[in-house]
Amino acid sequence: MMFERIAPEQHDTLDGVPEPAENPHLYGHEQAVSMLTAAYRAGKLPHALIFAGPVGIGKATLAFHLASYLLRHPDHRNAPEAFVAPDPGSAQFRQVASGAHPGVLHLTRPQNDKTKGFKTVVTVDEIRKVSRFLSMTSHDGSYRVVIVDPADDMNVNAANALLKNLEEPPARTLFILIVHAPGNLLPTIRSRCQTIRLTPLDDASLLSALAGTDQLAPDEPQARAALVERAGGSVRGAILLTQYGGLDIADALDKAVSGGRTGIADAHKLADVVAGRDSAIQFEIFNRRALDLLAESAADAARSSELARANALADAWQDAQNAISETETYNLDKKQHVLAMIDRLNAAMRM
């Protein structure tokens, strides 16, 4: 069956892969679902939630499934103990997916009219939509749900504007903040939300999720095992690895980092592949693998009680993250970024 996209394109949209708003399938996170439905059925659902966890594990999909659950069961006393998969043919599903439902507001990075791409942050103008959204009376007394995805991307003005909305929310309003790194949020925002930490998908859920998006894993057992290990429980990570040359990019980066001076030619070759005009996703894959290498090395050092090295690698990870953000924010030369990142990795690995 041909996939029909009805959700607006996002800054991280992948061809042929449903957006969270239009994905009728939710894989994993059973414990979180059970906790959320129990709280709602008891009339004790918090007014603000943080769904925290790695990129691509289904945090936003969970948020939209929770929104669907609340809209379908406005009386908490009659709500079921589990989510029921939404019907893609229903009017409610299509309204939510297309961004037209009066009870759901989805805020993310807006389009950049100058570049025809997307801005690098969730802007204050996006957050200002919350006040207008909440000022409209719900037609049937059901919940209104605000989903900020990802909340990590809010700039300072946007974060402060959201904080005002969180301080005195109207009744039957739920804020859901999708967060990859909770430490990036203002402490005052974190203190007004209940954090639900979501874990990477197990192997079976990951492979089921891949099949559910028609992105098939390799048939060969060794290649499939390598994909599962590299993906780290992230469906998005697995799709990037299989459909966008991610495994080759990761292998090439590993080779460039371990090659020392003999890796210079490999580094330039890799930079040409991931820093081209139409290589935004490949550039994302490269940066993610670079961060993973530093994080894995820091974790190994900590397990070996090499605390000074672990701290140095953690600092290198933060420096790398800052370099990625600056390159995206200021549209810096991507090839130079790639070559500098490989140098940074080589230096860090030799600490």
Q: Which domain holds residue 332?
A: 244-349
d(CA 118, CA 328): 11
Q: What is the pLDDT of residue 245?
A: 87
Residue ranges in the chain whose pLDDT is less than 50: none
The pLDDT score that the predictor gives to residue 206 is 94
* pLDDT value for 223: 84
**Whether residues 192 and 59 fall in one domain:** yes
Residue 257's identity, in one-letter code, is V
Q: Does 143 map to a domain?
A: yes
Q: Does some domain include residue 209?
A: no
pLDDT at 102: 92
Sequence-ordered list of residues with C-beta below 8 angstroms from that of 32, at least 6 positions apart, any chain: 51, 62, 196, 198
Give the pLDDT confidence of 156-170 residue by residue, as tens digits.
Answer: 999 999 999 999 888
Residue 202 lies in a domain: no
Q: What is the pLDDT of residue 330?
A: 84
d(CA 6, CA 92): 13
Domain final position from 159, 181, 197: 197
Judge if 52 and 150 occupy the same domain.
yes
Instruction: Please check whether residue 224 lies inside any domain of the structure.
Output: no
* Of 155, 9, 169, 143, the residue nearest 66 (C-alpha): 143
Instruction: Verify that 153 and 46 share a domain, yes or no.
Output: yes
Dihedral over alpha carbons 144, 145, 146, 147 (to 10 degrees): -160
pTM of the model: 0.88
**303 and 175 share a domain?**
no
229 lies in a domain?
A: no
